[in-house]
């Protein structure tokens, strides 16, 4: 790879795919990570032809505890130096906290938080050494509010990701590395198909929906300008200000009331073996 390299996790669809397309347009060589290898190969072949860049495809399951270490060691062996890291891979788990076995939650935390922290930890030293790097952690507006049943761990993980990113951004100040937490609201992607909540979600008003392309471009712009948080769309910026201004009990009541109309909060507990 002869150009600066950007690594995008969850590049096989949605927001991650948009990041890959925009970074290709900017002239980055790409490392695309996700589980669906065929999809990644198709995307890589289209982007490399269209933008004359090199695309490397990495079919990895980030729920596997060895995935990040193996990936980074393969990149190091081949002399690939990552300048832009987009930690985007993620999904939601439907139902109340007890309606999923512990193993599902464990995998969820691994993909949405542990793998993010580990990739950052393994790639940041090189960025600091070269005096240039960009890291975008794809979080969510859910990280700023207590959720409802059906979103219990998701919001908590995104809140942890926000605080981690904020602290890391402060730690990296002056090093040439910018770290940004991207906090989108509802975005048109495959996310709600994977969670199985598409039908309920289609009841949400149109003005709450964001386009994935816009979400990715706002994030790249915010990160370039050294912003720690990026909340795409005026609707969500306003919503967050209102939620911050009202007392916490009222905020929790409002979020729970609204959330129950579109979240799957099924209560049937499952036994963890």
Residue numbers at the binding site for ligand NAP (CB under 6 A): 9-16, 34-36, 61-63, 88-91, 111, 138, 140, 184, 186-187, 189-191, 194
| 52 or 260: CB nearest ligand NAP | 260
Choice among 28, 154, 236, 262 that is catalytic: 154
| 45 or 52: CB nearest ligand NAP | 45
Cβ atoms of 143 and 161 closer than 8 Å: yes
Query: Smallest distance, Å, CB 189 to ligand NAP?
Result: 3
Burial 218-245 (b: 16+ CB within 10 A, else e): bbbebbeeebbbbbbbebbeebbeebee
Distance CA 200, CA 51 (A): 38
How far is Cα of residue 197 from the mean position of the Cα atoms in its chain?
19
| 37 or 128: CB nearest ligand NAP | 37
Query: Smallest distance, Å, CB 130 to ligand NAP?
Result: 26
Sign, Cα dihedral of 131, 136, 141, 146: negative
Confirm whether 154 is a catalytic residue. yes
Query: Smallest distance, Å, CB 119 to ligand NAP?
Result: 11
| 22 or 175: CB nearest ligand NAP | 22
Of 134, 137, 122, 5, the closest CA to residue 67 belongs to 122
Query: Smallest distance, Å, CB 257 to ligand NAP?
Result: 20
| 28 or 144: CB nearest ligand NAP | 144
Query: Smallest distance, Å, CB 10 to ligand NAP?
Result: 3
Residues paired with 178 in a beta bridge: 134
Q: Which residues are catalytic?
A: 154
């Amino acid at each position: 790879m002869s150009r600066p390299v950007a690594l995008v996790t969850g590049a096989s669809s949605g927001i991650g795919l948009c990041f890959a397309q925009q970074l290709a347009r900017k002239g980055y060589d790409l490392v695309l990570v996700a589980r669906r290898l065929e999809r990644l190969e198709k995307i890589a072949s289209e982007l490399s032809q269209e933008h004359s860049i090199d695309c490397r495809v990495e079919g990895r399951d980030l729920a596997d505890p060895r995935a990040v270490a193996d990936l980074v060691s393969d990149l190091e062996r081949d002399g690939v130096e990552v300048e832009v890291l987009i930690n985007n891979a993620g999904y939601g788990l439907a139902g109340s906290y007890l309606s999923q076995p512990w193993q599902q939650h464990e995998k969820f935390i691994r993909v949405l938080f542990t793998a993010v922290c580990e990739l950052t930890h393994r790639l940041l030293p090189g960025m600091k050494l070269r005096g240039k790097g960009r890291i975008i952690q794809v979080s969510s507006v859910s990280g700023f509010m207590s959720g409802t049943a059906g979103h219990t761990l998701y919001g908590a993980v995104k809140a942890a990701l926000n605080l981690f990113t904020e602290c890391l951004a402060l730690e990296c100040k002056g090093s040439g590395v910018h770290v940004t937490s991207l906090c989108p609201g509802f975005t048109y992607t495959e996310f709600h198909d994977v969670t199985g909540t598409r039908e309920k979600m289609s009841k949400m008003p149109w003005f709450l929906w964001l386009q994935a392309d816009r979400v990715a471009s706002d994030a790249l712009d915010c990160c370039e300008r050294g912003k720690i948080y990026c909340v795409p769309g005026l609707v969500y910026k306003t919503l967050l200000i209102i939620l911050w201004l009202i007392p916490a009990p009222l905020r929790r009541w409002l979020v729970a009331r609204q959330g129950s109309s579109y979240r799957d909060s099924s209560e049937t507990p499952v036994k963890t073996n």
